[in-house]
Structure formats: structure tokens, C-alpha cells
Chain A
């Protein structure tokens, strides 16, 4: 993790990169979860049925809601 050290150099970062890295990791995990849920919903009928949160949209509602929540 980059630590702030303004005294050492005028170009040193004012913030650590922890929260930024966490946001990037969260976006990556969300995208991966979307892929896993979509594939599981396509291959397994039980998963597909459990992903129907809103009937007109079908399993897509569960796939996307699940990915966003994760």
C-alpha cells in the first residue's frame, strides 16, 4: 500500500491507495459474480428458478440483483 509522505517529496500521494484498490476489487468481484450467476442460471434449472425475483424479467432479475448486492 502506498503511504502518504508529503514531507519527502512534493509529488507524493496525499491519500493511500487502499480505498481506491478496494473499489476496483469490488467492481471486479461484482462483474465476476454476474458471470458466475449467469452461467449457473443457464446450466442448472434449480438455480434458474431461484433467480426469478421479478417474473416478467425472469432469471436476469436475480442474476443482476445478486451481482449488484455482492
Chain B
């Protein structure tokens, strides 16, 4: 059994940081809603509030780690240009996807989302964490503030979720194209 450096970094980026962030999002949304909106927030203890602050900080680290490893470790391998005359595009996923009209959308739409829109996730969650750490339970007294925070939290989840889906599909599609599989059975 062996694993290449590329495969390992792709796993760390996607399944390590990315998937863990997406899993954490559901808990974050429930806890934020509970703290900021429901009447039961008055029963929450300082210990629970501290736990949510640490939870949000961990999510900030995961989100930035996911986009930074994606942009500076995995993406250079994805966009690498093959030398002239290269016929085996297995090590050049971008060119492999662009070589067929049935897969080019995964590059033009899917990868564009991962390159740009996915960055909304760490930017948004950093703001959410800052505001919650600053305000804590007092957030329920600021209606507009908590509405904006929850909206950004949902936007972060959606941006990361679509990026994760596109990443998985790009990996799957480029692998299947390389193996000559043209459609799902």
C-alpha cells in the first residue's frame, strides 16, 4: 500500500480540513441559533459560552487551513501546464478536464467556485467568531447584528459545501476520464 504526496495533501485539504469544517458547521449553526435567538439562551452557562468560542476559533483555523492548503499546495498541481507534445494528461487535471466538452464545466464552473467563492467561508467564519467572542450572550439584544452574523454563518456553510461538492466531483471526474470511463453506470 502506498500513497503519493499529492494524494496525501489532497486528503489533508479535502477530507481533513474541508470535511471537518463542514461537519462542524451544523453544530455551529445550532449553537449560534440557541445562544443568539432562543429564550433558553438565558440558561446557558459561562462554560458553554466559552466552549462555543473555542469551537468557533477551531472552525476559523480549519477554514483558513483548507483554503490555504488548497490554494498553495493542491492548486499548483491542478493548474500545472504539461510540456508540449504530452499525451498522458493524468498528472495535469486542469488540461484533462478541459480536453473534453463533457468535463470542461467542472473546470470553468466547479474549479472557479473553489478558487474564488470558497474564500467567502474563512472570511465569513472569522467575522462570526470575532462578533461572538466580543458579544457572547449579549448578541440576543442586538437583532440586526445577530441576523447578519447568522446570515454570514449560513453563507459560509453554503460556500464551503458547494466547494466541497465541486472538489469531490472534480477529483472523481478527472480520475474517471483518465481511466477512460465516460459515464456513470
User: Which A residues fall within an 8 A CB radius of B?
Assistant: 2, 11-15, 17, 19-21, 23-24, 26-27, 30-31, 34-35, 38, 54, 56-58, 60-61, 63-64, 67-68
Contact = CB atoms under 8 A, between A and B. Distances in A.
Interface of B: 67, 71-72, 75-76, 79-80, 115-116, 119-120, 123-124, 126-127, 130-131, 134-135, 138, 141-142, 144-145, 148-149, 152
A37 to B, nearest CB: 9
A20 B75 contact: no
Given A13-B142, A31-B124, A57-B75, 4 more contacts: A23-B134, A31-B119, A31-B120, A67-B119
Contacts of A67: 119, 123
A26 B79 CA distance: 31
Given A20-B134, A23-B131, A57-B72, A11 B141 contact: yes
A24 B127 contact: yes
B119 A17 contact: no
A26 B72 CA distance: 24
What is the predominant secondary structure among interface residues of chain B facing chain A?
helix
Contacts of A17: 142, 144-145
Contact of A27 (B72, B123, B138, B141): B123
A34 B116 contact: yes
A27 B145 contact: no
Contact of B138 (A13, A31, A57): A13
A-B CB proximity, top 8 nearest: A56-B76, A27-B127, A13-B141, A20-B145, A20-B131, A38-B116, A24-B148, A14-B138
B123 A31 contact: yes
Contacts of B130: 23
B134 A19 contact: yes
A23 B135 CA distance: 12
